[in-house]
Amino acid sequence: MYELHPCAVLQQECKRHGRLAAEAEAHNSNIAERNRFVRATAAKLGIPLYGVSASDAEAAPLPEGTLDSFRGALLDRLGALERELLDLKATNR
C-alpha cells in the first residue's frame, strides 16, 4: 500500500483546515446578517426582542429563544392585521 509523504499529509490537512475556516466564517457572517435584519425589523415594527436590552451591542449575538419569540410576535402581528383588514372590508360593504 502506498503511504503519503508527511509533507503531503500536512498540506492536505492545511487545505482542509482552510476550507473549514472559510465555511465557519461564511456561517458566522450569515448569522450576523440575520441578526442585523431581525434587530432592524423589530425596531421598525416596535416589537421588543426577548432577552435583548436597548444597551446590547448591535453585533452581539441574539440570546437563545429570541428568534422563536420574534417569529411568534410577527405571526401575532400578521393575525391582527388580517383581522383588521377583514373588519375594514366588512365595514365598507
Q: How confident is the model at residue 57 (pLDDT cuts 50, 70, 90)?
A: low
**Matching residue, cell 457572517:** 29
Region 50-58 average pLDDT:
74
Contact indicator for 50, 63 with CB cutoff of 8 Å = yes
Answering whether pTM is above 0.75, one says no
Tell me whether residue 70 is exposed, middle or buried, using C-beta atoms within 10 angstroms of its C-beta: 0 to 12, 13 to 18, 19 or more: buried
Burial call 41-56: b when 16+ CB within 10 Å, e when fewer: ebeeeebebbebeeee
Query: What would the mean pLDDT of 45-58 be, rounded to a whole number?
Result: 80
pLDDT, tens digit, 9 for 90 and up, residues 22-50: 999 999 999 999 999 999 999 999 999 98
Structure confidence at residue 93 (pLDDT): 81
